[in-house]
Structure 1
């Protein structure tokens, strides 16, 4: 049986959070607990979720944490998007990277670049940059460590990073539609909104699969995105990006700053 729009949203929320209480889901989607239980019964029957007392989680192998699983999803597309993004970043720039899996692929690309100053809320990204040669200056904010994806979170995290004005803020989101970019995590939405306002240029990295997904919280409009890097964007979204600010993985990359004559 085809899933409903709300069931797709529940699955996307669980991918972002790992698990959730029935009461939380009912409040988020403004329906009764019984309605949520009916949605979950169908999802459970399809083997997509596992119910426990008072809540639900995604069905997944116990040996593979959610973040590790997301790293392997659409890996080829994410690697291509990261390479295209790296080619756009000029020499000597200051970058702020979010905690997305695509940003992890970008961090790997940046280990082959000249020294830069890189800020991030992700310990995973900081470790990639350090292990790759350590030529970059890496700055981490304070905050509470979220174990699931090794992300630093909290109001103090955003406050600290708001003191910087990076050349680029590079981010990803859970979903994109003609109405803009969406996510599920309240902290990450607040973080992204604050950093978009601080950066000279906001780069959104997004594989084509995310354009068919749904999100719960509006992050920003397409007019807030300076550059969209993707392996394919729907026409109704591509037309909202200024000409020349849509970078496709199949297009030739512009030369690095040090290679221009």
Structure 2
């Protein structure tokens, strides 16, 4: 059974990319403790990369985690990106954190002009720095090799110097309590970014509903809009309404 579960875990990761331990346990019909025990030899052998409650494939035949995530639910993320971009005006100052959804938003903004963009994402910066007469400000901080994101205390201190028209963050999970993430540094940066603009937007596809990351980023009373591709479960929709967050459906 152990060897069969190892094969099942690798098959799930190959098709789904990054998956939480809790999601693996649910898919396999076992406890999270069993999944963690099964993952240990896969991590030790270098077949699986483990990070803050989630796992993904590693090795020379596997895509980089960020590139793989860019392919996951791409049509939904593109629709969300188009919806967000349509509400941003030429010449505005926009803040974007790191994430596949915000990378799609950057691509949707390439038709805009004279934007001032503040980001910790090398992908976002590279996308928008070469078009439309934009000015792009890439924050300081240590650059992560998987996502190309600058994170840590220097990144947070740097972003707090700016003021923007709109701040947009992505999400690792959204439950009835808060928007969450799996990486404490990414969560801290996103939390800081949301304090720098009067319009605060969370952009995430509907697969994140019901997921709970390791770290809370923001409650529904600390954001203005959640842009997504499908309505959330009733319990999340009620919590959003109670917190004053507006639901915006793309497409």
Fold match by TM threshold 0.5 = yes
| Per-residue deviation, 1:53 | 6.4
| Per-residue deviation, 1:67 | 0.4
TM-score of the superposition, structure 2-length normalised?
A: 0.77
Of residues 24, 37, 42 in structure 2, which corresponds to 1:50? 42
- What SS does structure 2 have at the residue aligned with 1:239? helix
1:12-161 equivalences in 2 (<5 Å): 15=18, 38-42=34-38, 50-52=42-44, 57=49, 58-59=56-57, 62-131=61-130, 133-161=131-159
Distance 2:157 2:148 in 1: 19
- Bigger drift between 235-244 and 92-101 goes to 235-244
1:162-181 Cα offsets, whole Å, 9 max, x none, are 01111111001100011111
Residues 122 and 149, structure 2, Cα contact 8 Å, conserved in 1? yes
* Residue of structure 1 equivalent to 2:24: none
Q: Higher relative contact order at CA 8 Å, sep ≥6: structure 1 or structure 2?
A: 1
* Residue of structure 1 equivalent to 2:220: 222
| Per-residue deviation, 1:102 | 0.6
Structure 1 residue runs of 4+, over 6 Å off?
A: none
- What SS does structure 1 have at the residue aligned with 2:129? helix
Question: Alignment length, in residue pairs?
Answer: 220
RMSD: 3.1
Residues 227 and 241, structure 1, Cα contact 8 Å, conserved in 2? no
Relative to structure 1, the CA distance from residue 36 to residue 112 in structure 2 (aligned partners, 3 Å threshold; closer, same or farther) is: same
Q: Which runs of 5+ in 1 are unaligned?
A: 18-24, 26-34, 251-261
1:91-141 Cα offsets, whole Å, 9 max, x none, are 42111100111111111111111221001001111111134x252111112
TM-score of the superposition, structure 1-length normalised?
A: 0.75
| Per-residue deviation, 1:50 | 2.4
Residues 117 and 137, structure 1, Cα contact 8 Å, conserved in 2? yes
1:36-78 Cα offsets, whole Å, 9 max, x none, are 773234458xxxx922169952335634100000000000000
Residues 16 and 184, structure 1, Cα contact 8 Å, conserved in 2? no
